[in-house]
Amino acid sequence: MIIHSLKLLGALFYHNHSKADGEDIVNALIDEEVLHQQTLDALLSIDEQQLHSDFSVLFEGIGTMPVPPWGSVYLDKEQVLFGDSNVRYRLFLHNNGITLDSGQREPEDQFGLMLLACAYFLEQNQQQTANELLGEHLMPWADTYLEQLSLKAPNAFYKALATDVQQWLHLYIKQQNISVTKQKIYLNE
């Protein structure tokens, strides 16, 4: 069930779905006790065009991006894409048999992609590798990212999604006894 939840969450943060598909995903995550009903209610209150537009702004970099979804923006002093933390994460993926090839040049440390990679490792029965991904590469910046998303997202759906996902990730980290590496966050410095 954790693998399924991670895949669905990764999809919400990485793929621009139709509203109907988004509703199906959110309903499944409510059933898995990852998201709450108010997150679905917030999704239902948004029209299709606004949902697509907001996704593009939040996750694809169209227009002014209020909350970048890439780890290196938070972990690298220069706050750049493809920074040192992304290089370390790329090496981690390579050393564990994953090479990203989405057909476009993009950083591997996108929040949704990292959730999908974690699900992949769990599917391969590589619990320790999945835990390392979470503890060393995702969670050091995920709290800041999700807090900023819950504050700055242009609609109530993404605000609620960020809050629910942050709570769920903390619960999962605690249940798995995953140690999270402390790293300096460079945000608006």
Predicted confidence at residue 156, as pLDDT, reads: 97
* Any domain includes 184: no
* Any domain includes 15: yes
* Any domain includes 181: no
- The dihedral over CA atoms of 40, 45, 47, 50, expressed in degrees to the nearest 10, equals -80
Exposed/middle/buried for residue 160 (C-beta within 10 Å: 0-12, 13-18, 19+): buried
Q: Does 162 have pLDDT greater than 70?
A: yes
What percent of the chain shows pLDDT beyond 70? 97
110 secondary structure, DSSP code: B
Write out pLDDT tens, residues 75-113.
Answer: 999 888 888 999 999 999 999 998 876 667 788 999 999
Instruction: Report pTM.
Output: 0.94
Q: Does 43 have pLDDT greater than 80?
A: yes
Report d(CA 126, CA 41) in Å as an integer: 36
- Domain range enclosing 113: 2-61+71-176
Domain count, the chain: 1
* Any domain includes 189: no
* Any domain includes 127: yes
Confirm if 29 and 9 have CB atoms less than 8 A apart: yes
The encoded tokens of residue 78 equal: 């220069």
* Any domain includes 48: yes
- Burial letters 12-46, b for 16+ CB under 10 A, else e: bbbeebebeebeebbeebbeeebbbeebbebbeeb
- For residue 118, give the CATH number of its domain: 1.10.3480.10
* Any domain includes 183: no
* Any domain includes 150: yes
Locate tokens 């693998």: which residue? 3
φ/ψ bin of 104: left (φ > 0), alpha (ψ from -120 to 50), beta (otherwise): beta
Predicted confidence at residue 54, as pLDDT, reads: 95
Predicted confidence at residue 115, as pLDDT, reads: 98
